[in-house]
Amino acid sequence: MPDLRDASALFESNYNQLLALVLRRMAIEMQYHPSGELKPLEADLVEQFREFGELLRVVYRYDLTDVLAQEAAWYASALSSRGSGHAAFKLLVESWIIAIQGTIRPQECNLLSAPLRELLNNERFIFDQAGQRGSATPDNDIVDLVDRLIVGDREQSLALLTAHVKAGINPPDLITRFILPALVEIGRRWESNEIQIFEEHLASETIIRLLAGFSSDLPRAEPVNRQGLVSCVPNEKHQLVPMALTAFLELKGWQVTSLGSSLPASQILLAVKKLKPDAVFLSFHLLSRLTESMELVSQLNETCPGSQIFIGGNGAHAGKSLLEASGATVVASFDEAHLSASKGSPDNA
């Protein structure tokens, strides 16, 4: 009897054909139901279908079917806020099932289809999870900050933050207590279709400007004689969290170099070889980037054995055991990253 590993190999070898079939089915649906409830989602669906396929590659390869429902809740949330989420979600999952059933031989196709059928069977639970993503009410301080960020008001945003410093909050805590929750609230408003794309962009650009000025606008701790390098994992595009971590570490007294997002592994390796940081901090948001992340960690340990490697984010927690087996330390917060990476430093802070 074949196992999921055998089925995963077939899925991988047929992936391009499978994706083409999935996108073709979506196009046919749009062609014959042009005025239906899916029409408002058309611009987003191609990217969603592609990204879901990348997620399936990772889920099958590493047998992570236990986290598939949790990951699917993000798709349910994003699709629901822009039209009929149930119809779009059903189209997404059924298209992959049909492509698999029509391409892969019987026993393996049944193994691959089973977790997808479970998603359809548990659709109500998944949408309940999706609804809970936007159920938490942020503090008034976070709401006030986000209201200024989405209109691009850097001066008033900075004034709100510096007022907290005058009230006794340590500058690095501005990032963990206000900037990161503001990012979550902005994401929630976007997922819930409460703000337009331009407002999300305005907020992101304003946060970038704020973070870039933190080291000069706010008092920094005494130097800790530690050098860090911050980067997204390969093909990861979420640049705000690594920018926030860079500012956090600088305010803690670190010397930090930030590589930003979307760099290939070869360039991250070259940077670590040249700059020789004491610690490498990697941001890993999408579970679909797990393979690239594990490969990067292994390469860093092999070619740059002097550097500690810390990795955090939603994807890192879902793939924790695999990443730690590859040689990284998975951290749950900025504070944990700082404290863990500071161990062994003569200026341990």
Residue 334: pLDDT over 90:
yes
pLDDT value at position 238?
A: 85
User: Which range has the worst mean pLDDT, 34-38, 174-178, 194-198, 304-308?
Assistant: 34-38
Residue 23: pLDDT over 70:
yes
Q: Model-level pTM?
A: 0.90
**Where are the domains positioned within the chain?**
4-132, 136-219, 222-349
Decide if 136-219 and 222-349 have a common fold: no
Residues 6+ apart with CB under 8 A from 148: 156, 157, 160, 206
Give CA–CA dist 45/276, Å, rounded.
Answer: 42
Give the closest residue to 215 by CA, choosing from 186, 243, 238. 243
Which tens digits make up the pLDDT trace of 26-55? 888 877 765 566 666 666 788 889 999 999
pLDDT value at position 39?
A: 66
Report the chain's C-alpha Rg in angstroms: 22
Q: For the domain 222-349, what is the CATH superfamily, name and number?
A: Cobalamin-binding domain (3.40.50.280)
Query: Percentage of the chain with pLDDT > 90?
Result: 70
The domain made up of 136-219 has a fold known as 1.10.1240
Give CA–CA dist 294/330, Å, rounded.
Answer: 12
Which tens digits make up the pLDDT trace of 113-130? 999 999 999 998 888 877
pLDDT value at position 349?
A: 42
